[in-house]
Amino acid sequence: MNNVIIIRYGEIFLKGKNRDYFESLLIKNIKVALEDYDYKFVRTQGRYFIEDFSEDDGYEIMEHLKCVFGIYSLSYATKVPTNFEGDFKEVKESLKTLAKEINEENTILNPTFRVTVKRADKRIPMKSYEIAGELAGVILATVRFKVSLEKHDYEFMVDMRENGYSYVYSKVFMGAGGLPVGCSGKGMMLLSGGIDSPVAGYMMAKRGMKLFAVHFASPPYTSDKAKEKVIELKEIMEKYAGKIKLYVVPFTDIQMEIHKSCPSEFMITIMRRYMMRIATILAAKEDCKSIVTGESLGQVASQTVESMTCTGATTDLPIFRPLIGFDKEDIMTLAKKIGTFETSILPYEDCCTVFLPKSPAIKPRLAVVEKAEQAMWEVGEELMKKAIENVEII
Ligand code: ATP
Ligand code: MG
């Protein structure tokens, strides 16, 4: 008897001619996610199998796989010889064990079940439903469940494969879905220490985007703790998105200059414009063809259509804001699901809470903002250069 994990992939199945490319990315990402474990990877038509791993690692391997985008669903199965000449002896044994396990956890009154057999091994002389009938007998003799083909509480699956082995299981776990990271190009994500931006990055990675990150820090107004928090967020995201290179940009001088030279009502808008400019320069270094932010329409003054028009005007790259139509509640739910929430709510200031004006412009006009910015144009160019020279790469 032998434990295996069955991996089913979803959407990439549909991609016709590109399928090989999508699959090779998915396989690469699976291997990266499992780099700390010993196992054998088996590729077949439509499914992969993780085999020959240590029993102790099984749970962790499964948890890692649940985070890999492009995987639709997963099952933990037992692999046994089909042995049809021996009356499916080993299959029956493993079904008995499985039925007992399920029975122990069962809380349903008068539970029902069915057995579903897939017979890919055409050497077996019986039909699938005949085998299923015979196997159901074993379960009936083991636990007090009733058969119900249409509606049932439990389904026992037996895949009898061409290689002479059967895979026996009952649970199907949902994978992370989406597309394999790397198939949708690269994006530079603006990663604050807040709740929203990690969720935004997660959503882009789910659609196959490889992420880079930039964080604007304002020492000494922001502490090392704030930076560590961002690094921790990046590390949580890496479970899903693979390795993320993070740029930490010293932003204090630029903020001071804006504070000094520009009208306070435009402070935030202009600050965001400098963030975008720097993000665009860093994006070019990494060949990123887009920028990602955690903005959500109307959430704060800097996230009105007018404000986003002003920030967007500083870059030629498309800016993706996957949370634009989300309520804060929904974003928080997702943040909890992906595991970033607890870190995001740690109380360390990020740069935007420093020098906040009392009444920021809610509907800034681009022409007016551009004019307001003129006062610091040349200094601004210098300061940007300096900030990029002093960037810290993590
Ligand atoms: P978040 O929860 O992501 O911080 P927020 O609700 O606090 O978002 P803002 O502070 O207006 O909203 O920030 C909007 C977006 O701008 C953020 O989602 C993020 O992408 C980017 N951003 C803000 N501050 C920073 C920063 N210090 N470094 C990098 N990106 C930032
Ligand atoms: Mg924020």
pLDDT of 353 reads 63
Question: What mean pLDDT, rounded, does the chain reach?
Answer: 93
Query: Domain end: 106, 140, 174, which one?
Result: 174
> Which pLDDT band holds residue 167 (cuts at 50, 70, 90)?
very high
Query: How far is the C-alpha of 366 from the C-alpha of 48, rounded, in Å?
Result: 53
- Specify the DSSP class assigned to residue 56: G
pLDDT of 222 reads 87
* For the CA of 219, the nearest ligand: 1
Query: Domain end: 140, 174, 208, which one?
Result: 174
Query: How far is the C-alpha of 102 from the C-alpha of 214, rounded, in Å?
Result: 48
**Quick check: 99 and 108 in contact, CB under 8 A?**
no
Does the Cβ of 194 fall within 6 Å of ligand 1?
Answer: yes
Structure tokens at 114: 């069915």
Does 332 lie in the same domain as 250? Answer: yes
Does 237 lie in the same domain as 135? Answer: no
pLDDT of 13 reads 59
Average the pLDDT over 158-183 and give the result: 94
Domain for residue 28, yes or no? yes
Closest CA to ligand 1's atom 31: 192
List pLDDT tens digits, range 297-356: 987 777 899 999 999 999 999 999 999 999 999 999 999 999 999 999 988 776 666 677
Does the Cβ of 361 fall within 6 Å of ligand 1?
Answer: no
Does the Cβ of 7 fall within 6 Å of ligand 1?
Answer: no
Average the pLDDT over 108-136 and give the result: 95
pLDDT of 45 reads 79
Q: What percent of the chain has pLDDT over 90?
A: 84
Confidence check: pLDDT of 1 > 60: no
Query: How far is the C-alpha of 310 from the C-alpha of 285, rounded, in Å?
Result: 24
List b or e across 90-128, with b for residues whose CB sees 16 or more CB atoms inside 10 angstroms: bbbebbeebbeebeeeeeeeebbbbbbbebebeebeeee
Least confident among 11-15, 120-124, 248-252 = 11-15
Does 160 lie in the same domain as 231? Answer: no
Does the Cβ of 138 fall within 6 Å of ligand 1?
Answer: no
Contacts of 86 (CB under 8 A, 6+ apart): none
pLDDT of 20 reads 84
Specify the 3-state DSSP secondary structure of 42.
strand
* For the CA of 350, the nearest ligand: 1
Confidence check: pLDDT of 194 > 60: yes
Does 328 lie in the same domain as 378? Answer: yes
Cis before residue 220, ω within 30 degrees of 0?
yes
Pocket test for ligand 1, best of 189, 191, 192 (most atoms within 8 A of CB): 192
CA nearest to 392, candidates 240, 234, 241? 234
Least confident among 25-29, 75-79, 224-228 = 224-228
Query: How far is the C-alpha of 321 from the C-alpha of 297, rounded, in Å?
Result: 9
pLDDT of 350 reads 67
Give the atom of ligand 1 at the shortest distance from the alpha carbon of 352.
Answer: 24
Q: Which residues pair with 245 in a beta bridge?
A: 212
Domain for residue 156, yes or no? yes
Does the Cβ of 299 fall within 6 Å of ligand 1?
Answer: yes
Query: Domain end: 109, 142, 174, which one?
Result: 174
Q: Which residues pair with 156 in a beta bridge?
A: 115
pLDDT of 18 reads 78
pLDDT of 11 reads 61
Domain for residue 179, yes or no? no
Average the pLDDT over 282-303 and give the result: 92
Give the atom of ligand 1 at the shortest distance from the alpha carbon of 292.
Answer: 20
Does the Cβ of 211 fall within 6 Å of ligand 1?
Answer: no
Specify the 3-state DSSP secondary structure of 221.
coil
Closest CA to ligand 1's atom 20: 293
Domain for residue 327, yes or no? yes
**Quick check: 70 and 26 in contact, CB under 8 A?**
yes
Does 108 lie in the same domain as 21? Answer: yes
Give the atom of ligand 1 at the shortest distance from the alpha carbon of 197.
Answer: 3
Domain for residue 324, yes or no? yes
Does the Cβ of 191 fall within 6 Å of ligand 1?
Answer: yes
Give the atom of ligand 1 at the shortest distance from the alpha carbon of 300.
Answer: 11
Does 14 lie in the same domain as 156? Answer: yes
User: In which domain, by residue range, is 307 found?
Assistant: 186-393
Does 332 lie in the same domain as 257? Answer: yes
Ligand 2 centroid to residue 331 C-alpha, Å? 13
Does the Cβ of 322 fall within 6 Å of ligand 1?
Answer: no
List pLDDT tens digits, range 80-115: 999 999 999 999 999 999 999 999 999 999 999 999
Q: What percent of the chain has pLDDT over 70?
A: 96
The CATH number of the domain holding residue 370 is 3.40.50.620
Does the Cβ of 304 fall within 6 Å of ligand 1?
Answer: no
Does the Cβ of 234 fall within 6 Å of ligand 1?
Answer: no
Ligand 1 centroid to residue 313 C-alpha, Å? 18
Give the atom of ligand 1 at the shortest distance from the alpha carbon of 350.
Answer: 27
Domain for residue 180, yes or no? no
Does 207 lie in the same domain as 128? Answer: no
Does 204 lie in the same domain as 168? Answer: no
pTM above 0.75, yes or no: yes
The CATH number of the domain holding residue 63 is 3.30.2130.30
> Which pLDDT band holds residue 10 (cuts at 50, 70, 90)?
confident
CA nearest to 159, candidates 192, 123, 115, 190? 115
Q: Count of domains in the chain?
A: 2
pLDDT of 298 reads 84
Ligand 1 centroid to residue 317 C-alpha, Å? 18
Domain for residue 43, yes or no? yes
Query: How far is the C-alpha of 318 from the C-alpha of 206, rounded, in Å?
Result: 18
Domain for residue 181, yes or no? no
Structure tokens at 322: 């996957």
Confidence check: pLDDT of 261 > 80: yes
Does 142 lie in the same domain as 231? Answer: no
Confidence check: pLDDT of 16 > 80: no
Does 316 lie in the same domain as 263? Answer: yes
pLDDT of 297 reads 93
Does 170 lie in the same domain as 191? Answer: no
pLDDT of 357 reads 77
Average the pLDDT over 184-210 and give the result: 96
Ligand 2 centroid to residue 192 C-alpha, Å? 6
pLDDT of 300 reads 76
Structure tokens at 37: 């474990």
Query: How far is the C-alpha of 132 from the C-alpha of 120, rounded, in Å?
Result: 14
List pLDDT tens digits, range 56-67: 999 999 999 999
Average the pLDDT over 127-143 and give the result: 96
- Specify the DSSP class assigned to residue 8: E
